[in-house]
Amino acid sequence: MNEKTAPRIIGQVKWFDPIKGFGFVVSNEGGPDILLHANVLRNFGQSSVADAAQVEIAVQETSRGVQAVEVFRIEPPISATEVPLSDFQEIDPELIRNAPLQPARVKWFDKAKGFGFANIFGREEDVFVHVEILRRSGLADLQPGEALSMRVIEGKRGRMATEICAWECALDSRAET
């Protein structure tokens, strides 16, 4: 079966470990766990995915079990958007929603510390990235040098990311304007 005719399923990420380079998805329809390899995720434009994120993937049966061959959509975990972040409580929600997506590159990110920094292309100042913003964006971790797109506002900690997407999202949003 080639990837063009591979069946699509919707499921939930059971776990994903970017260090190991793989994780598993559980289909909403039931059945065996589905292997999600880091290369398949990278082809979608991400290096990680949050546990409990909803995904739409194409799968194929192999001698080693069912594997994802393409990612079409990733939705953040439902619980990730329920509680507002204290950093954004005093900021107009409209300002956060209307911040443009901008292409950026990760400077460093430490999951254990719960934060890191990135730079918008063409600008030197750091943008603070909180681990909770990653979760709300459907991500689990970031790698130094990783290209992505971000919505950025001036916040309590200076320039802060409010959303993180795949690199191509910034290009798509520029084409729409």
What is the pLDDT, as a whole number, of residue 85? Answer: 66
Give the whole-angstrom CA distance, residue 162 versus residue 137. Answer: 9
pLDDT at 2: 47
Q: Spell out the alpha helix ranges (H) of the chain.
A: 38-44, 93-98, 131-136, 167-176
Question: Which domains, ranges and CATH numbers included, belong to the chain?
Answer: 3-75 (2.40.50.140), 79-176 (2.40.50.140)
- State the 10-residue block means of pLDDT for the chain, 177 residues long: 74 91 94 94 87 92 94 79 61 81 93 92 91 85 90 85 80 52
Give the pLDDT of residue 84.
55
| Residue 108 near residue 117, CB atoms below 8 Å | yes
DSSP 55-103: EEEEEEEETTEEEEEEEEEEE--GGGGSSPPGGGTTS-HHHHHHSPEEE
- CB atoms < 10 A from the CB of 166, how many? 18
